[in-house]
Amino acid sequence: MTIIVTGGAGFIGSNFIFHMMKKYPDYRIVCLDSLTYAGNLSTLKSVMDKENFRFVKMDICDREAVYKLFEEEKPNIIVNFAAESHVDRSIENPGIFLETNIMGTAVLMDACRKYGIDRFHQVSTDEVYGDLPLDRPDLLFTENTPIHTSSPYSSSKAAADLLVLAYHRTFGLPVSISRCSNNYGPYQFPEKLIPLMIANALADKELPVYGEGLNVRDWLYVEDHCKAIDLILHKGKVGEVYNIGGHNEMRNIDIVTLICDALNKPTSLIKHVTDRKGHDMRYAIDPTKIHNELGWLPETKFADGIKLTIQWYLDNKEWWETIISGEYQNYYKEMYENR
């Protein structure tokens, strides 16, 4: 079995690679990543020299290069994590999101059609559903919730999802899609809420919180997410969408306060800043379908997962400090170009 993992030098993609290589030592894993600002090759240091692992620096929008890789590797499965994913950046520069998230997905699926695969899996987001009201905790996103996007980022992901389903219906491409809630855990790029607050708190810097911090997110420990995708690849139905949620709803302000308490830092570091444009109020996923069909449930309670995450960032300061300084972007040249 050969699996191409796009965006595998990013947060969730790298954790997925670690999960798959540990569970399936006979699988060949090919990581394709363009190493934009959020891709960090040093994250994959522990697997770079494994015989059943290959890293390829490549943009999924580069059709010629993608086709060449498919010819070389003859993959069975494609798992597409590659995406521009930060909402704030999509508001500043929507174009790159449309190019990578939509056109890049199309290039990958065209390669799948040309060379043949067993499964193309698209990793999506609950943000394609828009948001839910704070005063209706009974409402949850299901796979049948209408798409109702709020940002250029979520719109680009929704467009990619629709394109994936269209390729399945029109061309018979064997596809599946997963839509997950907010992930957290090791190796998350420190522009996202939890690692940013940990890094800033440790440096006694201000902790910027949008608005009053009342926005609610459903938090999913990254390892649980990887296990869910693994199940979908091996047991999920072709042509289906699966929602992956953590049953861990938390307000942003409560998470920041929790991090302050865990690190013995004063909450006076919290600074409320102007809210994001079109900021969604609440996300909450109903994972009943994946539970009923595949037996998946999140295993990690937020109280446990956040402790593990904080401890990981304390134990791996060098990893995120090099990102903050920008030095991590030199790692590819130093460690890989001469390999």
Q: Do residues 246 and 298 touch, judged by C-beta distance below 8 A?
A: yes
Other beta carbons within 10 angstroms of residue 249's beta carbon come to 18
CA dihedral sign, ordered 291, 289, 293, 182: negative
Query: Considering 33, 126, 161, 223, which one is annotated as catalytic?
Result: 126
Is 127 part of the annotated catalytic residue set? yes
User: What type of residue is 64?
Assistant: E
Query: Considering 129, 153, 221, 242, which one is annotated as catalytic?
Result: 153
Query: Considering 84, 127, 131, 230, which one is annotated as catalytic?
Result: 127
SS (H, E, C) 116-178: CCCEEEEEEEHHHHCCCCCCCCCCCECCCCCCCCCCHHHHHHHHHHHHHHHHHHHHCCCEEEE
Is 221 part of the annotated catalytic residue set? no
User: What type of residue is 285?
Assistant: I
Residue 260: both structure tokens together:
């302050």
The position carrying tokens 């269209």 is 166
DSSP, res 41:
G
Is 126 part of the annotated catalytic residue set? yes
- As annotated, the active-site residues are 126-127, 153
